[in-house]
Every structure is written in structure tokens, then in C-alpha cells.
Amino acid sequence: MGKSDRANIIGCDIKVGDDCISIEDGTKNVDIKEVSLGPRHGISIDRLGKFQNEEPVEGTKVSNCTITNTSN
């Protein structure tokens, strides 16, 4: 997700072969809770610092999640 505000990801299973959740610049106030993630990459804050005019990621909260067989 990119340039999102007040997104909620709650009570789900995300099983993919790449980023389960990818947060990009300009994203604010994301609540991730009671989520099962894996394999490969769990939660990624993607590419920050790679481009000059990126907006910050702010207010991301992760709680009560299960992250398995991941590398980040």
C-alpha cells in the first residue's frame, strides 16, 4: 500500500511468495493486528531512502501477529 491513510488489516491469514504486506512512502496510520503472515517476506516498508522526494511512513502499528518462515 502506498500513500494510504487509516488502513486496517485485522484478523486474516496472508500467505504469498513475496511481501505479505508492503508499505510504501506516504502511508500513515496503519493498524495491523491478529494477522498470520508468511512465508518469504512478512511486513516490508519498501524502498525508503531510495528516491529523493519520498514521503515518510508514520503511525504504523503491528500487534498480536504471527510471522513465520520469513526473512524480514
Q: Indicate the pLDDT class of residue 53, thresholds 50, 70 and 90.
A: confident
Question: Active-site residue numbers?
Answer: 18, 41
pLDDT of residue 72: 65
Question: What would the grid cell of residue 53 be?
Answer: 522526494
**CA dist 49 to 15, 52, 54, Å?**
27, 7, 7
Structural domain boundaries in the chain: 8-64
Read off the pTM.
0.85
pLDDT of residue 50: 80
pLDDT of residue 40: 87
Measured in degrees and rounded to the nearest 5, phi and psi for residue 23 equal -110, 125
Summarised one tens digit per residue, pLDDT across range 10-51 is 999 999 988 999 999 999 999 999 999 998 889 998 777 788
